[in-house]
Amino acid sequence: MKRERLDKVLANMGFGTRKEVKQLVKQGRITVDGTTATDPGMHVIPEEQEISVDDEPLTYKRWIYVMLNKPPGVISATEDARHETVVDLLPYEWATKVHPVGRLDIDTEGLLLLTNDGQLSHNLLSPKKKVDKEYFARIEGRVTEQHVQAFAKGVELEDFTTLPARLEILSSGDVSEIKVTIMEGKFHQVKRMFAAFGLQVIYLKRIRMGSLHLDESLEPGEYRELTEEELDALRGRER
């Protein structure tokens, strides 16, 4: 296990800046294995040693993996001057450390993974990995088998031609309901693909990313940590 500075560990867990943590140490409010800490720079193994603040033992987690059902009106960023961000929906001790894996448009709902595991994030987003992303959408206009075939070949947009996508028609009419699976995640991609055929996406929700499926018990704005099974499946994508 890696040894780390006590002030860095506590700062990463949301107990303030290193300067503020030093004040906690100075006030005698931090103990390590039952002994009052006197040096904020002391090295600890947070996974193995008991660290307490105000006599409350801490549960240290080096890596955080959170599934969020992103609501509309919230942006996929860690900070923004005008809009609420996805990390604003999380507890402080998570919000200060994680980042969203990819982005959903401000009006798009659904599955968003947030983590501080940069390697996993990179591998899920790398174009070489071709991690598929599945969406449910309502489309203004009739979606037909011709669109299914066109998506399967790749849709030519102004600046690029998409990789082949899988389009499933759930219902077709004045408002059609569909599922679409793409392997890229370019800006407004799903909306632009339908717009290329004169169709407008009026509702969009991501329901899957690779092996990770949205937990339908999560209401918009709700979140939970990934299960070990979900995490193992995602890591399997890394190898």
Distance CA 71, CA 60 (A): 29
Taken in order of first residue, the domains within the chain and their CATH numbers are: 4-57 (3.10.290.10), 65-127+212-238 (3.30.70.580), 133-209 (3.30.70.1560)
CA nearest neighbour of 86 among 217, 221, 233:
221
Q: Which two tokens stand for residue 125?
A: 């987003």
**What distance in Å separates the CA atoms of residue 172 and residue 2, rounded to the nearest whole number?**
56
Q: What is the pTM (predicted TM-score) of this model?
A: 0.81
pLDDT tens track of the chain, all 239 residues? 788 899 988 887 778 888 999 999 999 999 999 999 999 999 999 889 999 999 999 888 788 999 999 999 999 999 999 999 999 999 887 888 899 999 999 999 999 999 999 999 999 998 888 899 999 999 999 999 999 999 999 999 999 999 999 999 999 999 999 999 999 888 899 999 999 999 999 999 999 999 999 999 999 999 999 999 999 999 885 43
Catalytic residues: 105
Which amino acid is it at 204?
Answer: L
Rounded Cα distance, 163 and 184, in Å: 7
